A and B are shown apart, each in its own frame.
Chain A
Amino acid sequence: MLPQLLASGLSVGSIYALIALAMVLIYKTSEVPNFAQGDMGMVCAFAAYAFLVTYSLPFGWALAATLGVALLLGIVFEFLFIRRAKEPTTLNLIIMTLGFQLMLFGFAGWNWGAEQRHFPFPISDTEAVAIGPVVVSELNLVTLVTALVVMGTLFAFFRFTRLGVAMKATQQNAMAARINGIRTRRILAFTFGISSAIGAVAALLVAPITTLDPTLMWDPLLKGFAAAVLGGMTSLPGAAAGGYLLGLLENLFGAYVSVEFKSVVAFTLIVVVLWFRPSGLFARHYVRKV
């Protein structure tokens, strides 16, 4: 039973990890938790649905198109809205992301109606594969692998590409980056774009599990945010770790104590952790100098 729980915990944790990664990516760059993350992914999932069903594109093409849409969505969000905030305090930017989220949510319902749809994923979530003592659904397996692939790509991107290094530089010291010739405003827009793409991948992995409707990503967003906070909002590996931890804890708690209250417990645990480590598990706590 335990290995089974661990496996499914890791699977759902993968989704939380992806969302957490997307959030931390933006938080490190602009110090704002992007509450629009979930619904940006949701809209992309709907777009994927349109590509797959309405236009009958093969899955590969649909996926590429969706990622393109996601990238564009992120860039447009930063360029049209975030950048234009008159007083970019954290609270104001949070409100802006909440506003964008409401707009996306409304748009999705407005455009696609309220009916629930089934998302045609090429990989089934009922067919199972046996790995050792554990039986995982094909979808779970794909989720796990996809998350790892995304993380690996991100890691390589930051380490080995010029753009990645430029992004890291901008995160650490925007002024110094600009002086060194890095076009920080473009980097910012691009960061939002990448983050949006990661969120879209997460949404595509959630959609086959549940039905496709506008409230698709609400719960995963909150969990992903909680996971990011747990791991530390300033640490990318921390965010991923937080995601897996949360997934495991939730599943274990759901099985051994109570299914009904497992979300509450997850949050309570996070608050307890934060009491002892106010900046999350893996991030460093910076004290302001006076």
Chain B
Amino acid sequence: MDMKRDYYEDIQFLKDHVERFWFAVMLLALAVLPHLVQNFTMYVVNFLAINVIVALGMNILVGYTGQVSLGHAGFMAIGAYGTVLLMTEGGLPFPLAILAAAFIAAGFGFMLGLPALRLEGPYLAIATLGFGLAITQVIGRWSLFGGRMGLSVPAMRLGGWTITGDKAIYYVIIAVTVLLALGARTLMKSRVGRAFQAIRDSDIAAETLGINLAYYKTLSFAVSAFYAGVAGGLIAFALGFINPDQFSFIHSVLFLAMVVVGGLGSTLGSVLGGITVAYLSLKMDVIQELPVLGAVIEAISERFLTVSGMPNAGWVFMGLVLILVVVFEPQGLYGLWLRTKKYWITWPF
């Protein structure tokens, strides 16, 4: 058993040589990935990374601060449209545009945090839902935002280079993802993250300890929105075009699912949940291609249901996953990870 030597280890990110080793391995793997896979896989990886960013932000708000949001797709939209418009109309270079757009999203997050000071549970859910809806409607009807057709995205230019193609964009996206993940993790271990958790567990006690609820609740919304905004800016470049359909209520629901499936209140959980749910949402249309399950689904479709409706089987699967998580492992994938670790350590008992 490892004995702790000093307080730093409570908050240290990589506690020992073993952890440092694996982290280095992971970074290396991420760095060489583009050389090992096809272009289309790269696109999928980009998509997963971007969703992980949103999941990280959602977790800060929902998992750590105990709030609820059914409108996070709205923040993503602000980030996406903001970045594109600031580049095309405002002439800003990419890094500045995405940062500015993310801050604008954070500003909206702050505003959404204000009703959160008085509302809870389903009431707050409706307020955030309304926000998400409003954003989608506004960008869908206003010609400035391209209406229903959306906008096409200019090329990404970074320090003189033009970055095009899934593999090139990957490096930008993965770098941002890793940075934001580290930031989220350290922030949650710090005084700020503690205050968030205090608000989640007992906001009355938190107040009597000197925590300004108004400040921290709105801060949590703002940070969470910032993450979604950055993700929005990045997805614009990953896809090449943006339209309102990419930021609908369904997406907000999927983001919520990510943090619950991954495990609330755990940074690793958001990464796992983000990857899992995002991957499922991509593969839902072609669920019959799954190794074993796919054949089963095809058989069921032919005998009992309709083949034309088969793509919908993916929804059934996704819904089932959500239900199974709640029934068997409310701590999500992170909970499963903990259990596996414990089993490994205490084997063979």
A230, closest chain B residue (CB): B126
Answer yes or no: B299 CB below 8 A from chain A CBs: no
Question: When the two chains form their complex, are residues B315 and A105 in contact, meaning their CB atoms are under 8 A apart?
Answer: yes
Question: When the two chains form their complex, are residues A99 and B320 in contact, meaning their CB atoms are under 8 A apart?
Answer: yes
CA distance A105 to B133 in the complex (A): 21
Chain A, interface residues (CB within 8 Å), range: 35 or more
A265, closest chain B residue (CB): B134
Which of chain B's residues have a CB closer than 8 A to the CB of A84? Answer: 327
Answer yes or no: A146 CB below 8 A from chain B CBs: no
Contact digits for B124-137, partner A, Cβ 8 Å, 1 yes 0 no: 01110110011001
| Given A90-B121, A92-B326, A111-B306: A99 and B133 interface contact (C-beta under 8 Å) | no
Question: When the two chains form their complex, are residues A81 and B130 in contact, meaning their CB atoms are under 8 A apart?
Answer: no
Contacting residue for A225 out of B126, B264, B323, CB 8 A: B126
Answer yes or no: B192 CB below 8 A from chain A CBs: no
| Given A263-B137, A274-B118, A278-B119: A93 and B309 interface contact (C-beta under 8 Å) | no
7 pairs of A and B residues whose beta carbons are closest in the complex: A106-B315, A267-B130, A99-B322, A102-B319, A109-B312, A103-B319, A106-B316
Which of chain B's residues have a CB closer than 8 A to the CB of A107? Answer: 312, 316
**Which residue, of A94, A111, A279, A288, has the highest number of chain B Cβ atoms within 10 A?**
A94
Question: When the two chains form their complex, are residues B122 and A110 in contact, meaning their CB atoms are under 8 A apart?
Answer: no
Question: When the two chains form their complex, are residues A86 and B319 in contact, meaning their CB atoms are under 8 A apart?
Answer: no
A-B pairs with beta carbons under 8 Å apart, 11 shown: A85-B326, A94-B256, A95-B326, A98-B257, A105-B315, A113-B308, A225-B126, A271-B115, A274-B118, A280-B123, A290-B204
Which of chain B's residues have a CB closer than 8 A to the CB of A73? Answer: none
Which of chain A's residues have a CB closer than 8 A to the CB of B320? Answer: 99, 103
Answer yes or no: B31 CB below 8 A from chain A CBs: no
How many residue pairs between the two chains, A and B, have CB atoms under 8 Å in the bound complex? 159
Which of chain B's residues have a CB closer than 8 A to the CB of A271? Answer: 115, 126-127, 130
A99, closest chain B residue (CB): B322
Which of chain B's residues have a CB closer than 8 A to the CB of A268? Answer: 130, 134
CA distance A87 to B327 in the complex (A): 8
B264, closest chain A residue (CB): A91
Which of chain B's residues have a CB closer than 8 A to the CB of A106? Answer: 312-319
B130, closest chain A residue (CB): A267
Which of chain B's residues have a CB closer than 8 A to the CB of A270? Answer: 126-127, 130
Contacting residue for B260 out of A95, A103, A110, A279, CB 8 A: A95
Contacting residue for A98 out of B141, B305, B322, CB 8 A: B322
The residues of A with any CB-CB pair to B shorter than 8 Å are 27, 33, 81, 84-87, 89-96, 98-114, 214, 222, 225-226, 228-229, 233, 260-261, 263-264, 267-268, 270-271, 274-275, 278-280, 288, 290
Contacting residue for A113 out of B62, B130, B257, B309, CB 8 A: B309
Q: How many residues of B contact A (CB 8 A)?
A: 52
Which of chain B's residues have a CB closer than 8 A to the CB of A279? Answer: 123
A222, closest chain B residue (CB): B129
Contact digits for B282-293, partner A, Cβ 8 Å, 1 yes 0 no: 000000000000
CA distance A95 to B317 in the complex (A): 14
Question: When the two chains form their complex, are residues B260 and A92 in contact, meaning their CB atoms are under 8 A apart?
Answer: yes
Answer yes or no: B34 CB below 8 A from chain A CBs: no
Question: When the two chains form their complex, are residues B322 and A102 in contact, meaning their CB atoms are under 8 A apart?
Answer: yes
Extra A-B contacts (8), CB below 8 Å, given A99-B322, A271-B126, A275-B118: A94-B68, A99-B323, A103-B315, A108-B312, A111-B309, A267-B134, A270-B130, A271-B130
CA distance A106 to B312 in the complex (A): 5
CA distance A15 to B86 in the complex (A): 43
Question: When the two chains form their complex, are residues B326 and A267 in contact, meaning their CB atoms are under 8 A apart?
Answer: no
CA distance A100 to B318 in the complex (A): 10
Which of chain A's residues have a CB closer than 8 A to the CB of B323? Answer: 81, 96, 99-100, 103
